[in-house]
Amino acid sequence: MRAHGSATDDGAAARWFLTPARRGNPATEIDRLPEDSPGSWCGGNRVVPLLHGATYFRRLHEVLCALSAGDRVFFTDWSGDADERLLPDGGEVGDVLRDLVTAGVEVRALLWRSHSERLSFTAAQNQRLGRWLNEAGGEVLLDQRVRRFGSHHQKLFVVQHTGHAERDVAFVGGIDLCHGRRDDEEHAGDPQQPPMDRRYRGRAPWHDVTFELHGPVVGDLLRTFAERWNDPTPLDRRTPYRLLTQRLARMPRHPRPLPEAFPDPPAAGRHAVQVLRTYPRKRPRYPFAPEGERSVARGYRTAFGLARSLVYLEDQYLWSGDVVESLCAALRRSPGLRVVAVVPRFPDADDALAGPANRLGQIDALARLYRAGPGRVGVYDVENAAGTPIYVHAKVCVVDDVWVSCGSDNVNRRSWTSDSELTVAVLDPERDPREPRDVSGTGDGARVLPRTLRMRLAAEHLGLAADDARLVDPMASADLWAARARALDDWHHARRAGERPPGRARVHRPQPVPRWARTWSVPLYRTVYDPDGRSRPLRRAGEF
């Protein structure tokens, strides 16, 4: 039985979460609620943040290897490598999943079919993983039911146990099952390294986060998977090229029906969770989102609209003036609001063609933020002990130590309107007793999960203990970010004279885009790198 709307006793969920009407997608199964339900979230969950790809892979390996015949695994992925190791000494993704299939575990998966590898995408890897599992008796589909220039970017694992729903678990976050992701807190990089910009020195350090979820929300996440699986549109979208590639990959055009659903898991904890998605408006339409869905964008904008103290972001891009405008409005409205953002120092592809288009949207977004909140916006990148930049791939947001989100989406127009995305937003009813207890002054109070996660992330980047008292107060924490980043910058500018200052954070300074490069990088950025999947009326109104 789903525990919708029952997670908090102070009304915070009704303020911070979206109502079904505000989600704006009456076609989705996850908002088919009882008439007396106050919202489209569910309570009674337990959420565990997993920092770093190595942590997530180790936990995923543990969960998968405990399954037995009759259990079920459903997953979606943007990029998957069959030979990616889940453990330092083995546990390759393809072998682990294939062993499950041969042991009688039902494995269903939706992989993005991907663009050509000539464009530095992962079509061949995804096809290999799909064929490997299908030949063993699983069912993996290569899904290209996307908007033009779009992708399926969701990263989801749902694991169900026959007759033991209380053991069911889901994972949602930013970590793909592919090369480059298995890094840990030391950030020496994954030995299985994909191509990256040369300044990441061959074995790119990688920072990422995933949430492990137990409780009724696992049912909502499975419904998200099932909606995509049951879409009757052919997987290759009927174009001759895609039909040919699908046939060459020996992939079906239509999936087999999913098995009869197990009951949703029972309550497992105290956390309230709302599932947020992005689906573009496209032709042929998604039957579960005929006008698209932009609840990721609406969830962020709702949280930014309530922000009064600190917005903490870790993001791969932080692109697009349209997207950051709601954060700019919050800075203009609340003179005490601070923003701390952590982004990669360099794009993963920063060559002469891709580089300007990759940097253009971020440069514009940062300029808008600095104008809206002079002296109150700090944007940083991070490096490991050897001085190698760490590629920040995490997609995490904490607002006023109340609302926290983690998922596949980035803060850019592509993630908010054009690609398929999946994110969970979490409210913890347990208030944090440490001062300041109510950082926003609204009565919502600081909550244990978001504050603890923010402090853990800041501690890693700033070289502190996770319980350092200086990190509790968001304002003091923002000042500490600025001071430690300045100290490390000064040490580098002094040619590393003396002892290296603690921490990994440095002030982020993206390389400017020359005027001559803007003539071609602007249209490339708008159409390919950061497309807009909204309808024209929404674009004109500046709404999502």
Reported as a single tens digit per residue, the pLDDT across 168-184 is 999 999 999 999 999 99
- Average the pLDDT over 346-372 and give the result: 92
Q: Which of 109, 121, 80, 118 is nearest to 235 (CA)?
A: 109
The pLDDT, as a whole number, for residue 9 is 52
Strand partners, 383: 389
Is pLDDT of 504 > 80? yes
Q: Does 376 score more than 90 pLDDT?
A: yes
Residue 530 has pLDDT above 50, yes or no: yes
Q: What pLDDT, on the 0 to 100 scale, is given for residue 241?
A: 61
Q: What pLDDT score does 192 carry?
A: 96
Residue 540 has a CB neighbour count (10 Å cut-off) of 9
CA atoms of 142 and 244, how far apart (whole Å):
13
Query: How confident is the model over 241-299, as pLDDT tens digits?
Result: 666 666 666 666 778 999 999 999 999 999 999 999 999 999 999 999 999 999 999 99
List the domain boundaries for the chain: 48-265, 293-541
| pLDDT given at position 132 | 87
Q: What is the pLDDT of residue 173?
A: 97
Chain segment 95-132, per-residue pLDDT in tens: 999 999 999 999 999 998 764 444 444 567 888 888 88
Detail the DSSP E strand segments found in 284-441.
293-294, 310-314, 338-342, 377-382, 391-392, 396-399, 403-407, 421-427
Q: The pTM is what?
A: 0.95
Is 60 exceeded by the pLDDT of residue 1? no
What residues have CB less than 8 Å from 141, skipping those under 6 apart? 109, 110, 111, 130, 229, 235, 251, 252, 255
Average pLDDT, the chain: 91
Residue 3's pLDDT is 47
pLDDT of residue 25: 95
Which one is predicted more confidently, 255 or 510?
510
Rounded to whole angstroms, the Cα distance separating 484 from 503 reads: 7
Domain 293-541 has CATH 3.30.870.10: yes
Sequence-ordered list of residues with C-beta below 8 angstroms from that of 231, at least 6 positions apart, any chain: 145, 286, 287, 288
Give dist(CA 508, CA 487) in Å, integer: 14
- Same CATH fold, 293-541 and 48-265? yes
CA atoms 168, 80, 83, 204: torsion sign? negative
* Residue 415: closest CA among 250, 512, 293: 293
Find residue 274's DSSP bridge partners: 425
Q: Is the pLDDT of residue 356 over 60?
A: yes
Superfamily of domain 48-265, CATH level 4: Endonuclease Chain A (3.30.870.10)
- In tens, the pLDDT along 220-249 reads 999 999 999 999 988 865 566 666 666 666
The more confidently predicted of residues 485 and 8 is 485
Quick: pLDDT tens for 72-93. Answer: 999 999 989 999 999 999 999 9
How far is residue 182's CA from residue 86's CA, in Å, rounded to a whole number?
7
| Type of residue at 537 | P
Distance (Å, whole) CA 55 – CA 188 = 14
What's the DSSP call for residue 528? I
